[in-house]
Amino acid sequence: MSSSTTLHIWEERAAAMRFSNQAIINGKPVTGDGPLMQAINPATGQILTELASCSKDNIDQAVASARSAFESGVWSQMPRQERKKRMLRLAELITEHTDELALLETLNMGKPISDSLAYDIPETARTYAWYAECIDKQYDEIAPTDADSLATITREPLGVVAAVVPWNYPLLMASWKVAPALAAGNSVILKPAEQSPLSAIRLGELALKAGIPAGVLNIVPGTGPVAGQALGLHMDVDCLAFTGSTATGKRFMEYSGQSNLKQIWLECGGKSPHIIFDDCPDLDRAAMAAAIGIFNNQGEVCIAGSRLYVQSGIYDVFMEKLEQCAIKMQPGNPLDPASMMGAIVDERQLARVMQYVESGKQEGATLRMGGARAHHDSGGFYLEPTIFEVANQTLTIVQEEIFGPVLAVSRFDTEEEVLAQANASHYGLGSGLWTADLSRAHRVSRKLRAGLVWVNCYFDGDVSVPFGGVKQSGFGRDKSLHALDKYTSLKSTWFKLQ
């Protein structure tokens, strides 16, 4: 099948698509009390559908339904085999609906359909399946107390968990929170981002179909300042797991202090350094990884390698190779399976990214390629892959998270110099380095202040491996068994033995 034929098929499917557009509270569709929101297709600027926006009252209803489901034990006390079976069924349903869910992600936030199909949806399904499998495989502890007593340390679900998530990987980011929270026995309220609510609503429908009882997974589309804030300030939400910008993450810390001291877990922004040493074992692979590291998903990736550091001895040859890779990643129609980059999520984000491009030019960075909008006639929000060369680390484009396809490249001479530059950031999420020297790989990866380090690769990941940051990139870890710590509390029980 040629790519244009396939594009045609996806366009037909998109035209025939019907969107679920209501909140799901206590297992029922609910027309939110807030003003209707619009879901926009970033590839065309056209409205896909209008949809519910939850008010504070709707959030109160969702929390009440989650609490009541939790207290009833319908999920929290369900036999483990049964809870596991239903979560596995949800994973199967996600897989069965791969095409539909992939299309929803692509239409709603502009990522290439090939990425939605190959990555977002399979990884989402795998995340639910992986945590489902944990349900009957985790043991509690007995402390080494003296012979006259027994102290058990047991994990208990927290109760009502709220998840507030961004738009860049709508279903996948949600799954990293919803799946472990459900597996632990909690009831969950998911608030998708305003830009990308459609797949979350569909997830809520599939969860009901999988047998996850009403009230256990509520979906509350709505705005951050109304629905997000109402969850943050709610007196009966026990835990709030957030992925999004550092600025909003800080608000959630305040909401917690102003309300019930709910646990807050933050996966926030990043400005990840990607370092290429002179002895890089494979310059071609590193150049492709550097390009994918910033242009994949239109650069709307929290772990994007947005600060590239290239050692002087290979700088010129590496930049040539990088440019060749970047040229291949021009933005195209997200429904075309041949597109490697799609459209920026909305007009506001595009304007924000363009402001950074302007600031790069004005502050003296050298524009090596890109920097302009593309496909104006489509009505969509496209930007060329953009590479700046910088001589000064204080530039705004080096310091601030852009969340778009804009790379700042610096030349360096020594390991000490590049480590100081790499760590000179408020953020500490991802980082990468390429070297053939094993000792250097260990030395540098230990000194990088980041939650994730990739050595001779970039972006590798698996649900079994923790994901998260340090400094203002947040705290707590998504993925792996460690994520379960966020959604459980430890109970210590003493038994006096006679």
The region, left, alpha or beta by phi > 0 then psi within -120 to 50, assigned to residue 495 is beta
Question: Which sequence positions are flagged as catalytic?
Answer: 267, 302
Q: Structure tokens of 287?
A: 């150049």
Q: Which is nearer to ligand NAD, 83 or 111 (CB)?
A: 111
Q: Does 294 bind ligand NAD (CB under 6 A)?
A: no
Torsion of CA 78, 27, 34, 231, to 10 degrees: 0
- Measured distance CA(62)–CA(216) in Å, rounded: 10
Instruction: For the CB of residue 198, give the shortest distance to ligand NAD in the complex, in Å.
Output: 14
Q: Does 32 bind ligand NAD (CB under 6 A)?
A: no
Instruction: For the CB of residue 465, give the shortest distance to ligand NAD in the complex, in Å.
Output: 13
Size of the residue set binding ligand NAD (CB under 6 A): 30
Hey, which residues does 406 pair with through a beta bridge? 386
Q: What are the b/e assignments for 217-239, b being 16+ CB within 10 Å?
A: bbbbbbbbebbbbbbbbbeebbb
Contacts 24+ apart (CB under 8 A), 135-138: 135/80, 135/83, 135/84, 135/87, 135/183, 136/80, 136/81, 136/84, 138/481, 138/484
Q: Does 165 bind ligand NAD (CB under 6 A)?
A: yes
Q: Does 471 bind ligand NAD (CB under 6 A)?
A: no
Binding mask 352-391 toward ligand NAD (x if CB under 6 A, else -) reads: ----------------------------------------
Q: Which is nearer to ligand NAD, 244 or 360 (CB)?
A: 244
- Measured distance CA(239)–CA(330) in Å, rounded: 41
- Helix (H) / strand (E) element for 4: namely helix 3-16
Q: Does 267 bind ligand NAD (CB under 6 A)?
A: yes
- Measured distance CA(324)–CA(488) in Å, rounded: 48
Stretch that binds ligand NAD, among 67-75, 187-195, 257-265, 356-364 (CB under 6 A): 187-195
Q: Does 194 bind ligand NAD (CB under 6 A)?
A: yes
Stretch that binds ligand NAD, among 11-19, 227-235, 411-419, 488-496 (CB under 6 A): 227-235
In 10 A of CB 155, how many CB atoms? 17
Question: Is the sign of the CA dihedral 256, 257, 263, 266 positive or negative?
Answer: positive
Runs of H (alpha helix) within 296-373: 315-327, 347-362
Instruction: For the CB of residue 167, give the shortest distance to ligand NAD in the complex, in Å.
Output: 5
Q: Does 166 bind ligand NAD (CB under 6 A)?
A: yes
Q: Does 115 bind ligand NAD (CB under 6 A)?
A: no
Q: Does 268 bind ligand NAD (CB under 6 A)?
A: yes
Q: Does 174 bind ligand NAD (CB under 6 A)?
A: no
Q: Which segments within 206-262 are labelled E, that is strand?
A: 217-219, 239-243
Q: Which is nearer to ligand NAD, 165 or 419 (CB)?
A: 165
Q: Does 232 bind ligand NAD (CB under 6 A)?
A: yes
Instruction: For the CB of residue 291, give the shortest distance to ligand NAD in the complex, in Å.
Output: 19
Distances (CA, A) of 3 to 228, 268, 335, 384: 40, 36, 10, 21
Stretch that binds ligand NAD, among 26-34, 57-65, 223-231, 383-391 (CB under 6 A): 223-231
Q: Does 248 bind ligand NAD (CB under 6 A)?
A: yes
The alpha carbon of residue 156 and the mean position of all alpha carbons in its chain are separated, in whole angstroms, by 26
Instruction: For the CB of residue 227, give the shortest distance to ligand NAD in the complex, in Å.
Output: 7
Stretch that binds ligand NAD, among 60-68, 108-116, 135-143, 261-269 (CB under 6 A): 261-269
Q: Does 180 bind ligand NAD (CB under 6 A)?
A: no
Q: Residue 168 has what DSSP assignment?
A: S
Q: Does 191 bind ligand NAD (CB under 6 A)?
A: yes
Q: Does 433 bind ligand NAD (CB under 6 A)?
A: no
CB 131 within 8 A of CB 177: no
Q: Structure tokens of 285?
A: 């692979």
Question: Which residues are near ligand NAD by CB under 6 A?
Answer: 164-168, 173, 191, 193-194, 224-225, 228-229, 232, 243-245, 248, 251, 267-270, 302, 401, 403, 429, 469, 473-474
